[in-house]
Homo-oligomer: A and B are copies of this chain.
């Protein structure tokens, strides 16, 4: 049993920490919102007043925060965790941020003799609750091995993408490709429909052909084709359009840093931005891009 400090108890972090408790880990939690802390304490966690208090004698620190600025503010600087944490503690940041920031924090940790890995997740709120997240890790082999022992309680798949920051890059690469698959599948199904074809038949054909992709297998964007997909539930729940746009912005930044041409993703990004302008679309599931094409 590990002593785990968990920082950041939002829509993702809350259920993740809860799964650690379910697997009988000793968890100390912190969040800026007292109610979030209280809810976890009621479930068996220890509550802390500050991040510093939370990590006091932790074996592992897990952070799950909204953006790079929060992550840097938590770990870096004179008040940051890196300057106070024990050298035997492993730091695992599960936030989705740009790779450059992840490398910056990891580098500061290395300078202080502390182990740090980036471990962004995919699987969304539902995966966080069910404990079926995918963790995509970047960092040293032995740190990643150590992280697996704890992350297994919250996830179903774990990948080691490469060096520090590679977890973030791999997640962004996957998600930018996902946006391409979703936008491409949506416009294709709409073209089939406009030509009088049944979207279910068209989907079945492509599922067994070279057009096959994850969105057809798990997440058909056309209402009525798949009963349990967000499309058949008014695009409620799922992975929100505004979160896809956040990831696409990070992906395009990663492309800018190496001067890479990513025309398919650039087009998908334009479409998701146009789509988000629509009334209420920002909180719809990202498969609602289907509606942009009439």
Number of copies: 4
Contact digits for A17-60, partner B, Cβ 8 Å, 1 yes 0 no: 00000000000000000000000000000000000000000000
Residues of B within 8 A of A263 (CB): 183, 187, 263, 267, 270-271, 274
Interface string of A186-221 (1 = CB under 8 A from B): 011111101111100110111011111111011100
Q: Check A202/B274 contact, CB under 8 A, given A187-B264, A260-B194.
A: no
Kindly list chain B residues whose C-beta atoms are within 8 Å of the C-beta of A194. Answer: 258, 260
Within 8 A of B (CB), among A155-187: 157, 159-163, 165-166, 169-170, 173-178, 180-181, 183-185, 187
Which of A183, A195, A265, A271 has the most C-beta atoms of chain B within 10 angstroms of its own C-beta?
A: A195
Q: Give chain A interface residues in 107-122, CB to chain B under 8 Å.
A: 122
Give the distance in Å from the alpha carbon of A262 to the alpha carbon of B255 in the complex. Answer: 17
- What residues of B have a CB within 8 angstroms of the CB of A130 in the complex? none
User: Complex: how many Å from CA A229 to CA B163?
Assistant: 28
Interfacial chain B residues near A288, Cβ < 8 Å: none
Contact with B along A249-272 (1 / 0, CB 8 A): 101111110111111111111110
Residues of B within 8 A of A201 (CB): 159-162, 170
Task: Assess the A166–B273 pair: CB atoms within 8 A.
Answer: no
Q: Give every chain B residue within 8 A of A159 (Cβ-Cβ).
A: 201, 204-205, 208
Contact across chains for A177 and B196 when beta carbons are under 8 A apart: no
Which 6 pairs across A and B sit closest by C-beta, in order of nearness?
A180-B184, A261-B273, A213-B213, A263-B270, A177-B211, A266-B266
Interface residues, chain A, with chain B CB atoms under 8 Å away: 99, 122, 134, 136, 157, 159-163, 165-166, 169-170, 173-178, 180-181, 183-185, 187-192, 194-198, 201-202, 204-206, 208-215, 217-219, 245, 249, 251-256, 258-271, 273-274, 276-277, 292-294
17 additional A-B pairs beyond A163-B196, A187-B261, A262-B270, beta carbons within 8 Å, are A157-B208, A161-B201, A165-B195, A166-B197, A169-B196, A170-B205, A173-B192, A177-B211, A178-B211, A183-B264, A187-B264, A191-B251, A194-B258, A195-B258, A213-B214, A249-B256, A263-B271
